[in-house]
Amino acid sequence: MLLSVEQRRILFSHPAGWIATGFGVGLSPLAPGTAGSLAALPFWLALRELPAVWCLPVLAIAFLLGVWACGWSARALRIDDPSIAVFDEFVGQWLSLTPLLLWRGGFGWIFAGFILFRFFDVAKPWPVSWANDRVNGGLGVMLDDVLAGAYAALALAALLWLL
């Protein structure tokens, strides 16, 4: 999604624009969602160093922050779900990796979680597709990726258990 100079000025004049775009990562001309998921990984490495009991509250706060930031950005740009808003990928990616809080896997498992999240985010099985099509505003931007992240977390947990 190419933004005009005016749209960029509006977007980056407010903290919500910076957050929604993943601090500018969403401006990637190629696959901004994938770029957002990749950019989320270093933050995940820091997040997993927290005590495990803090992870879900941090994810919940990040989700609420994303609802606000992505909603503000969508309204500011007058686009329902702008592709430059990738903070939803951040939170979905983090959620997909939560099984690794219990099973400390190496980078191969982080890569597996990344691939699983991208798969479910693109494939959009129900209710991911329902949320994508029916829920609007910042909640709609965030919800489909969180649901895709939940699917990916379940799949990653199953793989960890099996292997």
pLDDT of residue 125: 97
Domain count, the chain: 1
Model confidence, pTM: 0.94
* pLDDT above 90: residue 4: no
Mean local confidence (pLDDT), 70-87: 92
pLDDT of residue 69: 98
Task: Quote the domain boundaries for residue 114.
Answer: 5-162
For 81-131, write each residue's pLDDT tens digit.
889 999 999 999 999 999 998 887 789 999 999 999 999 999 999 999 999
Residues contacting 57, CB < 8 A, separation 6+: none
pLDDT of residue 66: 98
pLDDT of residue 102: 86
pLDDT of residue 27: 92
* pLDDT above 80: residue 2: no
pLDDT of residue 54: 93
